[in-house]
Amino acid sequence: MPPAAAFHHRVDEGVVEKGSPRQTFALPVGGQNLQYSGTLGRPGTGYRTVTRLLIGGVTTFDWTYQGSGAQTERTESLIRLSPNGLTYLCVCVDGTTRLRHRGAELLLKPGRAALCSTVNPLEARHSAQNRLLTVYVDASRLESQVPGVNRLLGTTIAVEGVGELLVQHVLATMKVASGLDSAGLAAASEAVSHLLVGALSRRAQPVSPALEAQISAYIDSWLGDPELSVERIAAAHHISVRTLHRVFQQRGETVSTHIKNRRLDGCHADLLARPDLMIGAICAKWGITDIAHFSRQYKARFGCTPTDTREQRLNLGSPAH
């Protein structure tokens, strides 16, 4: 049973003392106490934090930090919980937040969010003026509502569409929450749940293999055009640039990396099969205009220079003495 809906509002302010221990506090989320610990700035700097917590079927944590110096930062660590933990969306509203989670380094600016899991620890560093919204939901519940959502863990996403509605709803709720009864708070919490599912559903859906194959074929047919771009590829398939990036994210690479590697592979094949072509002509055939940059990329991929490949081909093809 989820905890009864409730709202907590707390303001803390003061000056960071030299040698002061790390502050710790607990958030009652999902029937567990979520433990935070961290520092509130450099010694001698002032701070003011505002914590707003809406507890319900889905719990929302709204945290604002204000430091007295431009370089003041607060570092927080989320202690590891049980494997059957919570999934949460961190949304940057103001300032910047740098996260380290699941082996990834993520930078959040206003309009960006990160999907995380309490199965893994989180380290965050906040700018001196910062506001962060965090929406916690039971991991198994979210996976049942948004199949494939785990593919988004440890990544950042843009806050747009339904995601923007989610943020605006949470901000509005925090303004009026102190005047709501438990039924009103429960309704607000469930609305957060529906908006969260809507914001993540489209991003969690895998792109169809047919579309992926069409995109790959299109790229291969236009590799010789130096003007081939992400925008043009997306427009040719009537999809957004973000969806196109998601296609290649499923493969574990970026669009630009895929194009670069396909061009390098084509050049490598021609260097071996077409000794009659100059290296510059081969580069032009594959849409490469900067030969010096091409040479560096080629060596990084194949471990030798284009000239080395050509010489190896000639040596192999020369008659024995």
- Domain boundary among the residues 162, 179, 204 is at 204
DSSP per residue over 135-167, as a string?
A: EEEEHHHHHHHSTTGGGGTTEEEE--THHHHHH
Answer yes or no: is 86 within a domain. Answer: yes
Answer yes or no: is 192 within a domain. Answer: yes
- Do both 150 and 10 map to the same domain? yes
pLDDT at 222 over 50: yes
- Domain boundary among the residues 162, 185, 204 is at 204
- Per residue in 112-166, pLDDT tens? 999 998 888 888 888 889 999 999 998 888 888 888 888 788 888 888 889 999 9
For residue 164, give the amino acid letter.
E
Q: Exposed (0-12), middle (13-18) or buried (19+): which is 288, by Cβ within 10 Å?
A: buried
pLDDT at 181 over 60: yes
- Do both 74 and 186 map to the same domain? yes
**pTM for the full predicted model:** 0.64
Answer yes or no: is 148 within a domain. Answer: yes
Answer yes or no: is 1 within a domain. Answer: no
Mean of pLDDT values over 37-41: 79
- Per residue in 51-107, pLDDT tens? 999 998 899 999 999 988 544 444 454 544 545 578 999 999 999 999 888 888 889
pLDDT band at 168 (very low <50, low <70, confident <90, very high): very high
Q: How far does Cα 31 stand from its chain's mean position?
A: 27
Mean pLDDT of the chain: 85
Residue 280 structural domain: 209-317
Terminus-to-terminus CA distance in the chain, angstroms?
A: 85
For 45, other C-beta atoms within 10 Å of its C-beta total 16
- Domain boundary among the residues 135, 169, 204 is at 204
- Do both 32 and 142 map to the same domain? yes
pLDDT at 265 over 70: yes
Mean of pLDDT values over 297-306: 93
* Number of folded domains that form the chain: 2
- Cα–Cα distance for residue pair 5/301, rounded to 1 Å: 56
CB 251 within 8 A of CB 222: no
- Cα–Cα distance for residue pair 178/10, rounded to 1 Å: 12
- Do both 86 and 225 map to the same domain? no
Q: What is residue 314's predicted lDDT score, i.e. its pLDDT?
A: 67
Q: What is residue 151's predicted lDDT score, i.e. its pLDDT?
A: 79
- Do both 174 and 72 map to the same domain? yes
In which order are the strands placed within the sheet that holds 122-126?
A: 23-29, 32-39, 74-78, 122-126, 97-101, 104-108
